[in-house]
Structure formats: C-alpha cells, structure tokens
Structure 1
Amino acid sequence: MARDLGQAAGGVLSYFTRHRTAANLLLVVLVVSGIYAAPQMRAQFFPDVVVDDITINVGWDGAGAEDVDAAIVEVLQPALQAVDGVTETSSRSREGQATITLEFEPGWDMRQAEEDVGTAIDSVTDLPADADDPRTVRRRWADRVTDVVIKGPVGVDQLANFADEFVTRLFAVGVTRSTIRGIAAPETVVEVTSLDLIRHDVTMRQ
C-alpha cells in the first residue's frame, strides 16, 4: 500500500540521495585526507604506562631481615605514608637492606613529592646509628621515539664520531636523552715486555 509522504524528507542524507556527485566528492575528500594523515599518526604496540613512584633504600650491614624490618621499615613507613599524594606503599626487608616504594597519584608534581619525601625522612631521628643514610630514587619513564641508523664505507671509529656529533646536535635542539648502541666502548691497550716487568719488579696481576 503506497503512502503519500508529502514533501521530500530533508537533511543531509536526502541531499546526498538527490545529488550523487556531491556524495562522491565528499568520499574522495575523506579518502585523500585519510591518506595524508596516516603517516603523521603515532602508532605503538603497547600504550604508555607512566608510574609515578619514589623508592627509598637504606642499607644496614650485618643486620638480619627481621631487624631491618623492625628498626627501619616500621620506623620510616608511617612517616612516608603521610606524604601528600601517596596512594600506595610497599616495602621489602632483606639481610642488610630495606626498600620502601611510594606510588603517587597520576599527574602529581613529582619534584614537590621528592622534597616532601626528603622532609619526611629527615623527621625520623631514631634509625639505627650504624645504618646508612636513606637514598631516594625517583623512577623516570622515557618513551622511545625513533631509531636512527648510521652506516657508511668508513671505520667504526669514524661512525662513532658521527654518532657523537649527531647526539650533540640533538641536544642542541632540545632532545636531551639519546642512546648509542652497536659501538664498543673505547679501549686502551698497554703493551709491556716481560723484561720491563722484571726490571721494575711488577707482576701482571699488579
């Protein structure tokens, strides 16, 4: 049974139905835009996982795990748990070493957190006298952006010089962290005859 719809339905879909050329042009624009944008899109297999945490290490030579836990961890941990922004704490006690890890809220000001942790540690005055001073380590995450391969018909030493120069140029434009791989560290070879060793009363072990 036919129904009289009256005026043709309005809207974008009805417009493209009546003007197929416009629909095709829009499709071409979308395809071209996608092809242009694809190389500029950042892709990675795993998402960035940024964990803001600070680890405190305290050494105590000769102390057992139970003594370390009672005299260091149980004394430091309450003060550290009171630091602003801390969401979780974990500790590990073993022979001669105590480790306390603090996790902070996402996006927390970690520079301020380091200062607050230092203040909290300074407020604890009853640690064992022969224990080492607490050492604070902030874990920093870095996402690798790209790899640059340097090769050519030159020696390894020359390639190493090129790599060092490239790192210097990167630093000048604001890239402050880079790693050089595939080149052995420089070595110094000292050759001494056996006669010279005997003359100066020097052994190979020395």
Structure 2
Amino acid sequence: MRDFVDLAVRRRVSVVMAALAVIAFGVVGYNRLALELFPDITYPSITVQTEFPDTAPQEVENLVTRPVEEAVGVLRGLQTVHSVSRAGISEVTLEFEWGSDMDRLAMEVREKLDRLILPAETTDPVVLRFDPSLDPIIRLALSGPAVAADLQAMRRLAEKQIKQDLETVKGVAAAQIKGGLEEEIQIDIDQNRLAALGITLDQVRQVVGVSNVNLPGGALRGKDSQFLIRTINEFQ
C-alpha cells in the first residue's frame, strides 16, 4: 500500500489525469443512461373478456368462464390462469413465462376461441393485451337527441364505421360498444294458439334461430367467370 501511495505522489499528474478521465466517463455515461418513470415493459399476460348479457355470475362461470379456461389452458408457456365471473361478463387472465412471444400467443388464443362453442347470447370473446405503462382504456361518447330513431342511427354508426376505424389504429387491442338502441324484431305469440297446435316456445325459438341466417349457395360457373351465390334469409 505504501508503495502505491509513493507512486501516486511521484506521478501525481498522471493520477490526476486518470481521475479526471474516470469522472468524465462517468458524467457522459450518466447523461446517456436511459431512465423512465414507467419503463416500457411488455408483461406476459393476456385477458379474454366475454359478455353474457342479463346472466347471473354462476351461469357466467359455468357456461362461459370454465369453457374458456379449458380451451386456452393448454398453451405452451402458460404459468397461471385466474378468472372473474360477474353479472353479464367473464374475464379470464392468462399469465405466461417472461420472454414469451406474446404476438404468437395472442394469435393462438384467438384460434382456440374461434373453435369454442359458447351460448348464442354471448358476444365474441375479446383478446386484450394489458400494458401497465399506460391507461389501457379510452372512452368516446356519441351524443344526440334522445329519440329512438336517432339512438338506433348512432348505434349503427358506432358498429359499422367508428368501431372498425378504431380497431385499425396501431396499438388498439379492441373496441367495444355500449349503449344506444339495437335494432330488433319482436314476435308476438298467441299462447292459446300454440297450445292448440301442440307447439312450445322452445320450438318456436329454434325455428326462428335457424331461419335467421344467411347461407352460402355454392357457385355458378360460366365459361370465363364464376359467381358466388348467397341465400339471404337474415331478418331485416
């Protein structure tokens, strides 16, 4: 140690220059050090959200949440699955290993959900990528006169244009619509007439359900062209 001190005293200029160089490198390195209050970290989690309107939590759990858990519970790298079933909505959160390819996993989740058969009253499951560095929700409101026709028109505008435009924006995982008036067709049933014919309400519901669909009708081929045929049978 004494030899080192003696060397530093004899070559004090060199020691001072070395110390200044270390300080300079430290200052430059500190200024170039990237610091963020909320670093951009991609958490390896995916949430599947499914709406089941006017349904109690127990039915949501049995008819939606559990089937979704079973469908996506076999993905590679999956560590934990936890879910919440509330009145009218199911949320299933999947947590994967750090370093997982979340784009590929999100695609696999969607493929699993596309093959899943859920009750007809449910909405299509929405796959959400959660980013804790941002508030992941922006709410937009459409306003207008509280008239039934205007509320239906705003609902159509939101479904046909605004929702589709928003989902094409980079970084938007999904767009959901709340409120407005959805167009519906009401069927008045004569209960006495049904009883006389021996027909139940379930039978009427089934017939209406299978009738209210558009089906492919094949193709009509010509010499140099081909036309796809659709059978339009959906209620308007």
TM-score norm. by structure 2 comes to 0.50
Q: Return the offset for 1:91.
A: 0.6
Secondary structure of the equivalent of 1:42? Answer: coil
Task: Name 1:136's counterpart in structure 2.
Answer: 127
Task: Name 2:90's counterpart in structure 1.
Answer: 98
Q: Return the offset for 1:19.
A: 2.5
Match of 1:29 among 21, 26, 36: 21
CA distance in 1, matches of 2:5, 2:65: 68
Match of 1:68 among 57, 60, 76: 60
Secondary structure of the equivalent of 2:98? Answer: coil
Alignment CA distance shift 1:131-1:48 (3 Å)? closer
Match of 1:111 among 99, 103, 107: 103
CA distance in 1, matches of 2:35, 2:15: 31
Q: Return the offset for 1:124.
A: 2.2
Q: Which runs of 4+ in 1 moved over 6 A?
A: none
Task: Name 1:38's counterpart in structure 2.
Answer: 30
Larger Rg: 1
Structure 2 letter corresponding to 1:40: R
What is the root-mean-square deviation of aligned Cα atoms in Å? 2.7
Tell me the matched-pair count.
Answer: 135
> Identity, % of aligned pairs?
23
With a CA cutoff of 8 Å and minimum separation of 6, indicate the structure with the bigger relative contact order: 1
TM-score norm. by structure 1 comes to 0.56
Structure 1 letter corresponding to 2:120: A
Q: Return the offset for 1:102.
A: 1.0
**Runs of at least 5 residues in structure 2 that lack an aligned partner in the other structure:** 135-169, 172-236
**Runs of at least 5 residues in structure 1 that lack an aligned partner in the other structure:** 1-7, 144-175, 178-206
